[in-house]
Amino acid sequence: MSAAAIFLSLLFHAPTAGASPAQLRLRDIVTAPVNLSINGTYFPAERAKQKTFSVDVSQDRFIKTYSDGISIVGVKVRDSVTYYIIDNNKKSVLKVSQTNLYKTGQFFNWDSITGLVNLSGDTLVTAGTETKDGCTMYNAVSAGVKLCVDASHQLPLVMEQNGTMVARVSSVKPLNFDLKAKTDSLILACKQQNYTFIDVDSDMDPDAD
C-alpha cells in the first residue's frame, strides 16, 4: 500500500471532533469488590434518614452493617446466595435464599449490596469529562445517575441521582481478617442473645406443615 493510501486510510478512520462518546455497559466499568473493607454514607431524600455503612467482602461471603441497626450477611452456596438479615432493634434474624428474597419485599442481590449501585449490569453509561476525588464520572442517562468510578478497584466512590448525591464511599481498604470466623461469630451471638430466627425458605417449602 502506498504512503498516500495509508494516509487517507488513517484520515477517514480517525475520530472526528464532536463525535459522541462511546457507550459502555455498567459491567464494563464496575466489578463486585473482593477481599475489601468499604465504608461510606447513604444520603436519602429525607436527610434525617441519612445512614453510614460498612461492608466487608471476600470471595464467598460479606457482612454489611448499617448505622440504623440492620446488618446483612451473605454466604455463597454453590450457585446461590443465602442471606441473614439481622434487625438488632427487633432482635430478629431473617434467613432467606436469593431465589426467595423477593417474598420478603427486598430486591437486592450480591453485587448491589456490596457496592453502591442497584442498577443492571446492562445499563448503558458514557464516560464524562469531569473527575472527582481522583475518579472518572460516568453518566447513566436512562437512570438519571452519575457515578464516580475509581479505576484502581473499579468501584463507584460517589453516586449522584438527578443532580443530588445519594451515596459516597469514604474509604476502601484490604480485608485484613478472617471473614468466615466473623460471620460465624455474628450469627452465634444472635442465637446466644435469643434473637428470633425466621427461616423463609423452610416456611415457603410446599412440604412444610
Q: How far apart are CA 41 and CA 67, in angstroms?
A: 9
Whether pLDDT at 80 is above 70: yes
Enter the pTM of the model. 0.83
Q: What CATH number did the domain enclosing 134 receive?
A: 2.50.20
pLDDT range class, residue 132, cuts 50, 70, 90:
low
More confidently predicted of 186 and 79: 186
Sequential DSSP letters for 111-177? HHHHSS--S-TT-EEEEEEEEETTEEEEEEGGGTEEEEEETTTTEEEEEEETTEEEEEEEEEEE--S
* Span 59-68, average pLDDT: 97
The number of folded domains in the chain is 1
Question: 13 burial class (0-12, 13-18, 19+ CB within 10 angstroms)?
Answer: exposed
Is residue 1 in a domain? no
Residue with more model confidence, 127 or 15: 127
User: Is residue 44 in some structural domain?
Assistant: yes
Q: Answer whether residue 20 shows pLDDT above 90.
A: no
Range of the domain at 120: 21-203
Q: Is residue 142 part of a domain?
A: yes
